[in-house]
Structure 1
Amino acid sequence: MMESIRDRWAHHGIEMSKSDNYDPELVKHGASARRKKGRHTSKHGENSSPFSLARSVAVAMAIRFLVTVMLGSAMIINSLFNQGTPDSLTGSYCGPCPKNWICYRNNCYQFSNESKSWYQSQASCMNQNSSLLKIYSREDQDFFKLVKSYHWLGLVQIPANGSWQWEDGSILSANQLTMVKMQNGTCAVYGSNFKAYTENCLNPNTYICMQRSV
């Protein structure tokens, strides 16, 4: 009887062993898959945050760059159209001038691209409440030493004594301009480096109108 009981228990043990049996390779594969999945999830989670941060930094830098460019452009445009800019470098005041005129050391200038006779040029300046260019002082009008083209001056020769006179009636002095005789004429054009050249008044030339802003 005892042998019969042992046989039944042994048979029952075999049944349990079969029912509880597992494949070690399958278990190993499942564990490995879970570890890989965990690593993939962890890696994705770690990378997503730095990527978002880098993208935000890039966008912020791009916006800052655009704002800087816009501000710089506005400052450049403002300096180009600010008529007091040349004089502001010296720290002194430059009074108001007509639109599109150049203001320099309290004088207003307009450089015309039209070529006219001296008389036509004078009339054009008078219509704008101004006169043809006069050099008052080489120091105060020093930027004219860089002018290269020929422009009519408000300067004519008096036939009686041969002296040169400005439109306002004052006589040309040696410290204002150096007069160079180029051809027969009783009018003068400005060349460069404070030199004036004699010219036939009927010849066409560009001209410079001038206003005293004070």
Structure 2
Amino acid sequence: VRYFNVFYEKPVSGFQTENCSEGWKMFKDRCYLFSTESGTWDKAREDCRNRGADLAVIKSEEEQNDLMKDKVPSGHQMWIGLYRDTWSWSDGSVHSFTNWAPSSPSISTEHSCAFSKLGKWYNLNCSIELNFVCYTGEIDLHTLL
């Protein structure tokens, strides 16, 4: 199984918190939590699901650029919900947008997870502990927490 994470180099800013629970930030119709905790991809997904959410799904270039690139603390690598069975999103949604860097993903069995660096995705071993991004999808977070 292969998983993904995201690497960004800009400070968290520009989010609205209206309609999201404390600590969560709104982007369009979704609420996001940029966790300061770290864990493996599986632990990150479990933490998000315990909050009534899932690891973030990035469905478009606009979302990648507007949401992630400018909102993640400097130098952080963040797990998102994309993983390798057949490159699927953890919430079961259809995977159509990709943002792979040249020569990625690596087909090496050593690398079973991925991260984004400067807005591009690379794969990485999923047992590495990183921060992560949870999202609520298109639902009201207040009913979940």
Q: TM-score, length-normalised on structure 1?
A: 0.48
Could you give the per-residue CA deviations for residues 171-213 of structure 1, whole angstroms, max 9, x where no partner exists? Answer: 533x3322534673222223332x2221111111110111124
Question: 1:177 is matched with which residue?
Answer: 99
Q: Which residue of 2 aligns with 1:83?
A: 17
Structure 2 unmatched runs, 5+: 1-13, 140-145
- Partner AA of 2:111 in structure 1: G
Structure 2 matches for 1:35-184, cutoff 5 A?
Answer: 83-84=17-18, 96-141=19-64, 142-146=66-70, 147=72, 148-158=75-85, 163-173=86-96, 175-178=97-100, 180-181=104-105, 184=110
Answer with 1 or 2: which has the greater Rg. 1
User: In structure 2, what is the equivalent of residue 212 of structure 1?
Assistant: 137
- In structure 2, what is the Cα distance between the partners aligned to 1:177 and 1:81? 23
Amino acid at match of 1:126: R
CA contact (8 A) 2:16 2:26 kept: no
CA 1:130–1:191: 2 relative to 1, 3 Å: farther
**Greater per-residue helix proportion:** 1
Residue segments in structure 1 that go unaligned for 5+ positions in a row: 1-79, 85-95
State which of 164, 178, 201 in structure 1 corresponds to 2:126.
201
Q: Is the 8 A contact 1:156 1:187 kept in 2?
A: yes
Q: 1:81 deviation in Å?
A: 9.4
- AA in 2 matched with 1:156: Y
Q: Which residue of 1 aligns with 2:112?
A: 186
Letter in 2 for 1:198: N
Query: Relative contact order: is structure 1 or structure 2 higher (C-alpha 8 Å, sep ≥ 6)?
Result: 2
Two-structure CA RMSD over aligned residues (Å): 2.5
Partner of 1:188, secondary structure, is strand
* Count of matched residue positions in the alignment of Structure 1 and Structure 2: 118
- Residues 171 and 186 (structure 1 numbering): CA distance in 2 closer, same or farther, change over 3 Å? farther
Which amino acid in 2 is paired with 1:178? W
Q: 1:131 to 1:138 in 2, by over 3 A?
A: same
Distance 1:81-1:106 versus aligned 2 partners, 3 A rule: closer
The structural deviation recorded for 1:120 is 0.6
Query: What is the CA–CA distance in structure 1 between the aligned matches of 2:105 and 2:15, rounded to whole Å?
Result: 38
Contact 1:97 1:213 in 2 (8 A): no
CA displacement, residues 151-171 of structure 1 (integer Å, 9 cap, x when unaligned): 11111111xxxx311112345
